Amino acid sequence: MEQATGEDVTRLTEEVGATLRRVLAESPQVAHCLSRIRAEGYDVSIVLEATIGFSRSERPAPAAAPAFDVRVEKAEPLPIRMTPLDKKFLRSLKITVDEEGE
């Protein structure tokens, strides 16, 4: 059996990342969830972090499908940055603009 080089492991890791991105992009469930969020008036960005660990084993890996865990963490919302034009528009709608953040 041939030993994998560091370049082989890097290539395989990149393939895993590309496959995960493709699967998420093509997932009807993910698309449905994102469209529901957008329908509520939000912009959506997804950042996923995957940790892939490697270790040598004495025997070949089983042919079973790999399992992975997905962890979702709620992040603090980013501060709202308004331009002078944004503030002018809100004031035209009689919406009070908090000047604290300036």
**pLDDT on residue 40:** 87
Tell me if the pTM is above 0.75: no
Assess if residue 87 is contained within a domain: no
Tokens of 13: 């890791």
Assess if residue 81 is contained within a domain: no
Assess if residue 83 is contained within a domain: no
- Tens-digit pLDDT string for the chain (102 aa): 455 567 788 888 888 888 888 888 888 898 888 888 889 888 888 877 777 777 777 766 556 666 666 666 667 777 778 888 888 888 888 888 776 554
Contact 50, 17 (CB under 8 A): yes
Tokens of 17: 């990342």
Q: What is the 3-state secondary structure (H, E, C) of the chain?
A: CCCCCHHHHHHHHHHHHHHHHHHHHHCHHHHHHHHHHHHCCCCCCCCCCCCCCCCCCCCCCCCCCCCCCCCCCCCCCCCCCCCHHHHHHHHHCCCCCCCCCC
**pLDDT on residue 102:** 47
Question: Given CA atoms 26, 48, 80, 83 in this order, what sign does their dihedral have?
Answer: negative
Assess if residue 23 is contained within a domain: yes
Q: Which domain holds residue 52?
A: 6-74
Our count of domains for the chain comes to 1
**pLDDT on residue 65:** 60
Assess if residue 99 is contained within a domain: no
**pLDDT on residue 91:** 87
Place of tokens 């009689």: 94
